[in-house]
Amino acid sequence: MIRVENLSKYYGGTRALGPVSFEIADGETVGFLGLNGAGKTTALRILACDLRPSAGSVSVDGIDAVASPHEVRKRIGFLPENPPVYADMTVRDYLRFAGSLRGMKRADLDKRMPEVLALTHLEDRQDHAITTLSHGFRQRVGVAQAIIHAPKLLILDEPTRGLDPVQIVEMRSLIRDLKQNHTVLISSHILPEISQTCDRLLVLGYGALIGSGTEAELSAAEAAAPRTEAEVAAEIRQIVVAIQPVTARAAVTAVLSKLDGVSAVAEPIEQAGALTFTLSCNRDIRAAVSRAIVNGGWDLVRLDYVHGELENTFIRLVSGGTDARN
Amino acid sequence: MRATSIIFKRELGAYLRSPIGWVVAAVLLLVDGILFQTQAMGDKHLSADVLRAFFIYSSVVVGIAAIALSIRLVAEERQTGSIVLLNTSPVRDVEVALGKFLAALAFLAIMIAMTFYMPLLIKINGKVSWAHVAVGYLGLILFGAASLSIGLFASALARHQLVAAVVGAALLASMGQLFPLADKLDAPLKGALGQLDVWWIHFQQGFASGIVNVKDIVYYLALTYFFMLLTVKTLEAKRWQ
C-alpha cells in the first residue's frame, strides 16, 4: 500500500532524513522508533503530504504523493505532535469542519459522527469548546479529526506525548481499536509504547533506517550478539578501592576476561552502588562468571544473561549509528 | 470552491466566537463615533462636507480594523499548529485564501454597515444625496477589501501575529504615502507613483467626495487581486516547504 524509495529530506544543507526505503502493507500497524531528532516526524510529515521530500518517492495505493498530493491526502488521517485543533470551536463543530474539508457530505458526517465520538470516548464532551478540554481530551479530538473521514492510512506522531499514565493506557487502547479498520503508522521514542501496539518496527537513527522488522525478528538479531552482565557489590568494590583502587577494578576485569567463551569485557559502569561489567560471549556462561566472582572474593549481586531483548536491540541500534547528516 | 465556503463559515464564526472580532468592532464604532462628533462635525457648515469628512475619517479606522482582523488569519494558525489540518486536507491554497479573505470582508462589511447611523443623521438634519452615501460606502468596502488583502498577505508571510501586524501596517501606511511622496518627484515617475497610492487619489479625492471613477474601482479590485495572488503563492510555497 505504501511504498517509499530513497526518500530524503534536507533543511538547507542539513540532511534530516534518508535516503530511506521501505514498504508498508494494508492493515499493518507500524511503529517508527528512534531518539529525538532521528527523523521520525520528518518521515511522517512527508507521508502525510505536509512536507515535500527533497528526493525519492512516496506512493500510497500506487498514487505518487508529490505528483498528486490531494489524492493521497484524501486517503490519510494525520495527528501531528500538537493536535491541529481550533480552540474556539466545540468538538462536534470542529469534527464537522475537519470532515467537510476532507470532502464528506452532510449525510455522511451525520452517520460517521456518533461512531467517531464513541470510538474516542468524546460523547460527553462533544458540545464543549475545545479550549476548555484537558490535554488528554484534546489529543483524543486530534485522533477523532484524523479518523472522521475513515481514511485507509492513519498517521499518529507521538500520540501519547504529554499524557499522564492513565491517559497513555487509554490512548494505547484507542490505537488498538483503530488497528481493526486502518493501516496505522505511529512514531515514538518510547519503546514500550511502540512494542505494545505495533506489528512491525522501523528503527530510525540520525535520519537513516537502522533496523526493520517485527519485535521477534529484531530480538532474533539481538540474539546473534548475546552478552552477560555481572554486577559486583559496591561494598566489596569500596574495600578493594580503599587498598588498591585501580588494580581492583582491573582485577575483576582480568578475571572475567580469562573465562572461556568471553570475547570482550566492556569498561565497567558504576551504577546504583555497584559496578556493572558487560561481557561479550557466544553462550550462556553465567555459572562460570558467578564462580569466578565468588572465588575472587567479591559479592555478586546480579547476574543476567541478555538474550534477544527488544530494548537492548534498540539501544544497540541507535548507539551504533553515526551522524552522517552534516 | 466548496472548501472556500467551509472555510468562510469557520472563519466568520471565529470572529463572532472570539474576543478579537468584538473588540475590533467595538473600537471601530467607538473611534468612528468620536471622530464623527469631534472632527467631521467640527467647523463644517455644508452637510456634504460633513459627510465627506465622515468617510475620510472612517476610511482610516477601516484600514486599521482591516489589518487587525486579517493578521490572525494565517499567522495564528501557524502559531497554534492548526494549519496542519488545512495543509494535510485535499483543499487548494486559493480556496483557503479566498475563504479566509471573504470571511474577514464579510465581518468588516457588517462593522462598516453599523456606522450607517452617522450618515443617516446627516441626511435627516442636512442635505446630502443617497448617491453620495452609497458611493462613500462602496469606497469604504473597496478600500477595506484592499487593506484586508494586504493584511492577509502579511499574515501568510509571518509566523507570529505581531510580525504580521507590523508588516501589514507598514505596507498599508507606505502605500498610503505614495501620493505625497510622488509630489516630491518629477514626471513621469510623479504621475505613475501617485496613481499607485492606496488612499489619497482613489479614496479621498474620489469615493469620499461622492465621485465614482471606474479607474478607482479597477484600482482597488486590481490591488486586492494582486495581494491575494501573493497570498496564494506564499501559502503554496510554505505548504510544501
Cα–Cα distance, A247 to A240 (Å, whole number) = 9
Q: How far apart are CA A154 and CA B144, in angstroms?
A: 42
Place of cell 561479550: A280
Q: Is the pLDDT of residue B13 over 60?
A: yes
What digits encode the pLDDT tens for the residues A258-293? 888 777 777 776 666 667 777 777 677 778 888 888
Confidence of residue A80 (pLDDT cuts 50, 70, 90): very high
**Across the interface, do B10 and A86 touch by the CB < 8 Å criterion?**
yes
Among A50, A95, A101, the residue to mutate for chain B (most B Cβ within 10 A): A101
Closest CA to B28 of B72, B56, B60: B60
Q: State pLDDT tens for residues A83-103.
A: 999 999 999 999 999 999 999
| CATH domain A2-222 topology | Rossmann fold (3.40.50)
B chain contacts of residue A69, beta-carbon cutoff 8 Å: 240
pLDDT of residue A307: 52
Mean pLDDT computed over every residue of chain B: 93
Residue B233 pLDDT > 80, yes or no?
yes
Least confident residue range of A286-295, B95-104, B199-208 = A286-295
**Are the Cβ atoms of B17 and A82 closer than 8 angstroms?**
no
The rounded distance, in Å, linking the Cα atoms of B170 and B154 is 10
Alpha helices in B36-160 (DSSP H): 47-70, 72-80, 83-87, 93-113, 117-125, 130-157
Nearest CA of chain B to the CA of A313: how many Å? Answer: 34
Q: Do A70 and B90 touch (CB under 8 A)?
A: yes
Could you tell me which residue, A15 or A124, shows the higher pLDDT? Answer: A124
Decide if A51 touches B, using CB distance below 8 A: yes
Percentage of chain B with pLDDT > 70?
Answer: 99
**Does the pLDDT of residue A19 top 70, yes or no?**
yes
Residues in chain A: 326
Residue B38 contacts A where some CB pair is shorter than 8 Å: no
The pLDDT, as a whole number, for residue A235 is 38
In this complex, is the C-beta atom of B19 within 8 Å of any C-beta atom belonging to chain A? no
pLDDT tens digits, A120-150: 999 999 999 999 999 889 999 999 999 999 9
Which among A71, A73, A86 is the nearest to B88, CB-wise? A73
CATH class of the domain comprising A227-306: alpha beta
- How confident is the model over A295-323, as a mean pLDDT? 64
B85 contacts in chain A (CB < 8 Å): 84, 98, 101, 145
User: Which pLDDT score, from 0 to 100, does residue A311 have?
Assistant: 59
Structural domain boundaries in chain B: 2-239
Residue of B nearest to A71 (CA): B90
Distance CA B19, CA B62 (A): 18
Beta bridge partners of A304: A229
pLDDT band at B83 (very low <50, low <70, confident <90, very high): very high
Measure CB to CB from residue A102 to each of B13, B14, B89 and give the nearest one. B89
> pLDDT tens-digit profile of A195-246?
778 888 898 888 888 888 887 777 666 555 555 555 554 433 333 333 333 4
Band of residue A46 on the pLDDT scale cut at 50, 70, 90:
very high
Q: How far is B229 from chain A (nearest CA, A)?
A: 21
Task: Return the domain boundaries, chain A.
Answer: 2-222, 227-306
Across the interface, do A84 and B17 touch by the CB < 8 Å criterion? no
Sheet holding A55-60, edge to edge: A14-24, A2-11, A55-60, A63-64
> CA-CA distance, A195 to A278, in Å (whole number)?
25
Cis omega (within 30 of 0) for bond into A19: yes
Question: Which residues, at least 6 apart from A253, have a Cβ–Cβ distance to it below 8 Å?
Answer: A265, A268, A277
pLDDT-based confidence at residue B3 (cuts at 50, 70, 90): very high
What is the predicted pLDDT for the residue at A237?
Answer: 35
Higher pLDDT, B172 or A242: B172
Count of CB pairs separated by less than 8 Å, A with B:
66
Tell me, yes or no, if the two domains A2-222 and A227-306 fold the same way. no
Confidence of residue B64 (pLDDT cuts 50, 70, 90): very high
- A138 reaches B (C-beta below 8 A): no
A26: left (phi > 0), else alpha (psi -120 to 50), else beta?
Answer: beta
**Whole-number pLDDT of residue A161:** 82
Q: Please answer yes or no on whether B10 and A50 come within 8 Å at the CB atom.
A: no
Length of chain B, in residues: 241
- For chain A, say whether B17 makes contact (Cβ under 8 Å): yes
Check: CB of residue A113 under 8 Å from CB of residue A96: yes
Does the pLDDT value for residue A151 go beyond 90? yes
Residue of higher predicted confidence among B24 and A161: B24
Q: For A29-34, what is the mean pLDDT? A: 89
Question: What whole-number distance in Å separates Cα of residue A265 and Cα of residue A259?
Answer: 10
